[in-house]
Amino acid sequence: MEDLDREKLAGFWREVGVASDQNLALKAPKRVEGLFLTLSGSNLTVKAAYNNSGSCETENIVGSEIDVSGKFAFPGHREIHVLDTDYQGYAILRVSLRWNNRDFHAFKYFTRSLEDDDPPGFWKFRELTADTGLYLAARAGRCAKLLKQERI
């Protein structure tokens, strides 16, 4: 994204799909179900709702936009790069992290809706990740629903 409108990115997003060529990225013990994004200046606050073996957990992390529009760095060698979005229906992110001296990357597909997968955005995600390898489609979860209703 060349000129990301960061304000339009704010709000609730449900994770619908994950693509990675690294198995670890798909088998994380805590699975993200939803994000709530808040912007303040160049800072992005991410409230993530996780499903951890059936329990809902949240984590708040604050990152700053770095060198490229739509690329944010977070503590713990983590980055989020917004690759594509229409702001209203879908967003495609590249998430990177460093763990045990190894770099891990995953493409993540999000929608604003708890039910709809936004088919046009989903096909863009599939095209973008066709050469990536492993792929997982997430199910709508209770934790994402609670996050959207701001009850967690």
**Residue 110: inside a domain, yes or no?**
yes
**Residue 126: inside a domain, yes or no?**
yes
CATH for 115: 2.40.128.20
Half-sphere exposure of 66 (CA within 13 A, CB side): 12
The pTM for the full model equals 0.88
pLDDT tens digits for range 120-141? 898 999 888 888 776 666 666 7
**Residue 128: inside a domain, yes or no?**
yes
pLDDT score at 73: 95
Question: Residue 142 is encoded by which pair of tokens?
Answer: 């209770």
Our count of domains for the chain comes to 1
Residue 112: give the domain boundaries. 6-148
Please provide the average confidence, as pLDDT, over all residues in the chain. 87
The arithmetic mean of pLDDT across residues 106-130, rounded, is 89
**Residue 136: inside a domain, yes or no?**
yes
Write out the DSSP string of 27-51: S-SEEEEEEEEEEETTEEEEEEEEE
- For 121, other C-beta atoms within 10 Å of its C-beta total 23
Q: Which residue has the higher pLDDT, 82 or 101?
A: 82
Query: Is residue 44 pLDDT above 60, yes or no?
Result: yes
What percentage of residues in the chain have a pLDDT greater than 70? 89
**Residue 1: inside a domain, yes or no?**
no
